[in-house]
Chain A
Amino acid sequence: MKPFYKKRIFITGTQQTNLEQARGRLILIGIFFMVAYVLVVARAADLSIIQSFSNNINEESIYNGSTIKKDFKVRADIVDRNGVILARSLKTSSLFADAVLVRDPVMVTKDLQKIFPSLPYGPTLQKLQSQKRFVWLKRNITPEEQSKILYLGHPGLDFKEEMNRVYPQGALAAHLVGANGIDGQGLAGLESSFDGLLSKSNKPLELTLDVRLQHVLKREILTTINKFKAKGGAGIVMDVETGEVLAAVSLPDYDPYNFKNVKDNQKFNRFSQGVYELGSAFKVFSTAAMLEKTNSNMGQSFDVREPITIGRFKIRDYHPEKRRLSLPEVFIHSSNIGSAMMGRSVGTDDLKDFYEDIGLLSAPDFEISEVGNPLIPNPWNEVSTLTASFGHGIAVSPLQLISATSSIVNGGVLVKPKIIKSLEVKKRKEAAFRVVSPETSHRMRQLLRLVVTQGTGSKADVSGYIVGGKTGTAEKPGRGGYDREKLISSFIGVFPMDKPQYAVFVMVDEPQGTKATYGYATGGWVGAPTVQRIISSMVSILNIPPSGEKQKFEGSLMRYVKTKEQLIGEQKIATH
C-alpha cells in the first residue's frame, strides 16, 4: 500500500457544499499557522544567530553609544582674538545616591570621606539615611575620584554626567569673561550678558582680547599695587583705530570657580563699572576742545601765578610754576589754573558739547553689563566748567577715558569700545563721526609726546619708541571735601605718536608714596613707569620694531617750551 495514497471520497447532495467549506477553512488556518511558525523561526534564527554574530564584532559600541545625544546643547566657548580658550564647557561626572539602595550609610559616608576629605560627615550621613531616591553628594568630580568610588562598589551610588564650565586662564580675565553658576547660568561679565547666545550657539564667542597683553597688563599693575601698597587698580589696552579692547584688568580680581564666595570688592569692575575723578588726564580733552572750538594758537600764554578764585572755590596748581606759561607748558606741567582758563575761553556750552561728543557724559555702549554711569555736575555752572577742564567734579570710567583719548589721537574719529570681535571693523571709517580735525589731532599728539620728553610723564619713555601720554593725579572725595592722602594716580599712554596704534591706561587706587619715589604717589611716579613697563613688553609680544626718532616729533612746539636749562639761565641774567 502506498503510504501517501489518499482515498477520495465523494459526497454528493446538500452535504457536499458544507464539507468543502470546512475543508477550505481548515487549509486556510493551516496555512496561517505555518506562515506564523516560519516567521517565528526566521526571527528566532535572526536574533540568536545572525544578529548575535554581527554584534560580537564590536561589543564596545554598546558602551560608547551612550555618548551620542543629539539634542544635547553644549554652551559655546569664549576665546580670545588668537583662539586661546577663555571658557569652555566640559563633561564631568557628578555623584548622587539612591538612598533607598544604600545598605550601610555610616560605612559609605566614611569611605566617601576618605576620597573627599572636605565632605561634611553629618549632612552626608543624613542624606544617605533620608530614604530619598535622589540626593546629590558631590558635583563635578574628577575621573580619578570616580574610579575610586566605582572601586568601592557600594550599591546606591551612581553618577550623572553634567557640563562643567572650565576657565583655563583662571582669574586672568575674570572681570570680562565672568563666571557661571553650578547649573550653567551666566552670573557675571560676558557669561551673563551673552547668556542666551552662549547657551544656544555652537560657534565660539570671539573676543578682541589678547591673553598675552592681558597677562602683561595684570602683572605690571599688580607689581605697582604691591610696590605702592595700593588698594586696587585698573588698566586697559585699546586699539585706537578700532576701539578694540586688547586687555582690561581690574584688581583685586577673583577666581571664577569660586564666584559665590567672592567679596564685593573683588567683584567690582573698576575699568568699566567704577567711575572716578581722574584729574589731569582730562586736560587732554579741555586742550583739544580749546584748539578745536577757539582760534587759539600754541603761542598763547596763560598767567598762572595767582590761584583762580570763583565763589567759595579756589583753583590751585600742584606744581606752581610762578610765571606766564604758554599753551604747551600748561599742558606739560599740568597746570590746573591754565586748564581752567582754557575751559573758560571755550565756554560752558561748547565744552559740554565737546565732552558729550567724545562720550564722556553718557555710559559707553559696551558689551558687558557691568558699565557705570558717569557722574556729571548737575546743574552744570561756570565753576563746573572750570573744574571739569582739569578733571575734577566729573567722574568717568577708565573705559570712557581711554575711548575718548583714542578718538582724539587717532586723527579725530570717534571710536566706541568693543570687546567682541566683529567683521565690520574695516567698514568703520566710512561711517565715522569726526570729533576733532586732523590738525587738532596732530597737535594733541605732539603735546602728549611733549609731556613725556619735557613734562610730568618722563618716566613713561621707552627707548626707541615714540611714546606720548598724560599723567593724572586726583584726590578722592571724602567727608567734607577732598582727602589729600587718598589719591587716584593714573597715566594714559599712546604709542607710537607719529601713527598711533595703541592706547594704554593705568589707574592705581590709593597708592602710598615710598622712599624710592621721595614720598610721591602721583601719576608721574606711579602710573608712568607702569605704562613704560607695559609698552616695553607689548612691543616684543606684538613684534613692533623700534622706529627711532629721526627728528623730534614734538618739533615746532619746542619753541614755546622753556627747558630747565633755559629757566636757570634766565634766572642768572635776572640776578646779575
Chain B
Amino acid sequence: MFRFSGILCLAIAVLSGGLLFKTSQSVQRAEQALFQVNSKVEVERESLRILTAEWDYLNRPERLEKLTLQNLGMDEVGTEKTNFIEGDGSVPEPAIPVIPQVKPQYISIQGQGSLAKVEEKTIQNTENQNFSEIVGGQE
C-alpha cells in the first residue's frame, strides 16, 4: 500500500516543513537582535545628543573665560604682549608658566590602582547651575 515514492514525498514534506520552521525561527531571532541593536543605537544617539549639547553648554565662552581667570589666573593675551614683530624681530623668552591659584587635588580611586584626577572643588562650587535645569523647568 505504501509505495516508496509516497514515503519519500512525505519525508521531504516533513523535512522541508521543519527547515522552514527553523528558518522562520532564525529570521525572527535575527530580526529581534536587529531591533535590539537599533534601539540601543537610538538610545546611544539620544544620549550623545544630550551630551554634546551639554558639552557646548559647559564650553560657553563666558564660562570658560570666568573659570580660566578664576582658577588659572589666565587673562586674555593683549595685543601689546603679542606684538613683538615691531621690536627687534626676535622671539620672546618663554613665559614663566602660570601657577594655578588652586592646587589640583589627586586622590586614588579604589580598584583602579592609578591616580585619577578629580575635578577641582572650586569649579564645582562656582557652577551651581545644573544642565538638567535648563533642559526642563518650563511649564
Contacts and interface: CB of A to CB of B under 8 A. Distances in A.
Interface of A: 42, 46, 50-51, 54-55, 58, 61, 64-65, 67-68, 84-85, 88, 90-92, 118, 138-145, 164, 166-170, 172, 182, 211-212, 214-216, 219, 257, 462-465, 536-537, 539-540, 545-548
Given A90-B50, A91-B46, A164 B40 contact: no
B53 A166 contact: yes
Contacts of A55: 32
B85 to A, nearest CB: 5
A139 B138 contact: yes
Nearest to B29: A54
Interface in B19-53: 21, 25, 28-29, 32, 35-36, 38-40, 42-43, 46, 49-50, 52-53
Given A540-B82, A546-B83, A64 B56 contact: no
Contact of B49 (A90, A141, A215): A90
Nearest to B86: A548
9 contacts: A85-B52, A139-B138, A141-B136, A166-B53, A168-B54, A170-B60, A215-B62, A545-B85, A547-B85
A521 to B, nearest CB: 26
B133 interface: yes
Contacts of B88: none
B113 interface: no
A243 to B, nearest CB: 24
Contact of A168 (B25, B32, B53): B53
Interface of B: 21, 25, 28-29, 32, 35-36, 38-40, 42-43, 46, 49-50, 52-54, 56-57, 59-62, 65, 76-80, 82-83, 85-86, 132-139
Contacts of B136: 92, 140-142, 145, 164
A540 B76 contact: yes
Given A50-B25, A65-B35, A168 B56 contact: yes
Contacts of A539: 79, 82
Given A140-B137, A168-B53, A547-B85, 4 more contacts: A167-B134, A462-B79, A464-B82, A548-B85
A172 B60 contact: yes
**Dominant SS among interface residues on chain B:** helix
Given A164-B136, A215-B61, A61 B36 contact: yes
Contacts of B56: 84-85, 168-169
B86 A68 contact: no
B50 to A, nearest CB: 6
A536 B43 contact: no
B132 A144 contact: yes
B135 A211 contact: no
B33 to A, nearest CB: 8
Nearest to A74: B49
Nearest to B54: A168
B62 A172 contact: yes
B61 A67 contact: no
A464 B62 contact: no
Contacts of A216: 61
Contacts of B49: 88, 90
Contact of A211 (B32, B61, B132, B134): B61
A92 B62 CA distance: 26
Contacts of B65: 215
Question: In the complex, which of the residues B43, B56, B132 has the most CB atoms of chain A within 10 Å of its own CB atom?
Answer: B56
A-B interface, 4 closest residue pairs, ranked by CB to CB distance from nearest: A464-B83, A215-B61, A168-B57, A142-B136
A164 B56 CA distance: 17
A145 B135 CA distance: 12
Contacts of B39: 61, 64-65, 67-68
Given A64-B43, A92-B135, A144-B132, A463 B83 contact: yes
Contacts of A42: 21
Given A64-B39, A536-B78, A164 B32 contact: no
Contact of B138 (A68, A211, A257, A464): A257
A182 to B, nearest CB: 7
B85 A142 contact: no
Contact of A164 (B54, B60, B82, B138): B138
A214 B56 CA distance: 15
A142 B137 contact: yes
Contacts of A140: 135-139
A139 B31 CA distance: 36
B8 to A, nearest CB: 20
A537 B137 CA distance: 35
Nearest to A218: B62
A142 B135 contact: yes
A138 B139 CA distance: 5
B132 A143 contact: yes
Given A92-B136, A257-B134, A546-B83, A58 B76 contact: no
A239 B139 CA distance: 40
A144 B136 CA distance: 10
Nearest to B83: A464
A51 B21 CA distance: 12
A61 B32 contact: yes
Given A90-B49, A464-B79, A537-B76, A64 B40 contact: yes
Contacts of B135: 90, 92, 140, 142, 164, 166
Contacts of B83: 463-464, 546, 548
Nearest to B38: A68
A61 B36 CA distance: 6
Nearest to A87: B53
Question: In the complex, which of the residues A51, A65, A168, A211 has the most CB atoms of chain B within 10 Å of its own CB atom?
Answer: A168
Nearest to A67: B42
Contacts of B50: 90
Contacts of A46: 25
Contacts of B85: 464, 545-548
Contacts of A58: 32, 36
A138 B137 CA distance: 9
B128 to A, nearest CB: 15
A68 B42 contact: yes
A67 B43 CA distance: 7
Given A88-B53, A257-B137, A546-B86, A465 B79 contact: yes
Contacts of A143: 132
A212 B61 CA distance: 6
Contacts of B57: 168-169
A453 B118 CA distance: 52
B108 to A, nearest CB: 30
